[in-house]
Amino acid sequence: MNIYRSLLVIFFIFLSSYYVIAEDKIEHKIAVLVNEDIITSYDIIQRLKLTAIIQGINLNAQNTQIIVNNVVDELIREKVKLSKINEYQIKVKDEEYAEFELNFFTRNEIKQDEILNLLRENSINYQELKKYLMGELAWNKLVNGLFFRLTSISDLEVDELISKNPTLSVEQAENLVIQRQLDLQSSKLLRDIMNEATIEYK
C-alpha cells in the first residue's frame, strides 16, 4: 500500500492544471450538468483520488487526462442510474450495505482498515466510497428486480462453462449464466437512459 501514499503527490502536481486547489480548499465549480443534477470539480477530485487509491494507479502526465475523463464518465453514469433507482424507489438496508462493502474489499483483495486509513490521510470523505458502493448495490437490486424473472438457464450454457472451468459446480455455472444475462440487461438499460439524458459540460 506504500504506492498509494506517494501517488497523491503526483496527483496534485498534474491535477492542478485542471482544477482550482488552494491549500485544503477546493473551489466547488459546476463541471457537468446531468439533467437537473450537478457534478462539481470537488466531486471529480474526490472520485479521482478514490479511484487512484482503490486501483493502485500511479498518475502521470500520460494517464491523468484519460483517468479524469473516465471519472467524469463514471459520475455521469451514476447520476442517470440514480434517477432510475429513485424512480423505482429502491431502498438499501444497512445490513445489505455492510455485507456489500465487505465483499467489495474481499473481491478486490483490499484490506478494509488500510483503505479507510488512507481515505482519512488523503482528505477523502468516507461518504464518497459509501456513495459509490451504495449506488452499485442499489443498481444491482434494480436490475435484479426488473429482469431476474426473465432469465433462463440452458444445459448447453452450463455445460460449456463447466467444460472451460471444471472446478465450477453446476450451481456456480448456473449463477454465472444468470449473471451474464443480467449484465446484458443492465448495459441495455443504462444505454437507454443515457440516450435520454441531457448532459451539459460547463
Instruction: Name the pLDDT band for 56 (thresholds 50, 70, 90).
Output: confident
The predicted pLDDT at position 171 comes to 96
**What is the homologous superfamily of the domain 2-148 according to CATH?**
Porin chaperone SurA, peptide-binding domain (1.10.4030.10)
Tell me phi and psi for residue 64, to 5 degrees: -60, -50
Q: What is the mean pLDDT of the chain?
A: 86
Amino acid identity at 176: L
DSSP secondary structure letters along 159-193? HHHHHH-TT--HHHHHHHHHHHHHHHHHHHHHHHH
Classified as helix, coil or strand, 33 is strand
* Per-residue pLDDT tens digits for 151-201: 999 999 999 999 999 999 999 999 999 999 999 999 999 999 999 999 999
Cα–Cα nearest to 51, from 92, 95, 108, 2: 108
- 31 with 79: CB under 8 angstroms? no
Residue ranges per structural domain of the chain: 2-148
The predicted pLDDT at position 102 comes to 93
21-22 and 25-26 as β-strands: parallel, antiparallel, unpaired? antiparallel
Is the pLDDT score of 10 beyond 60? no
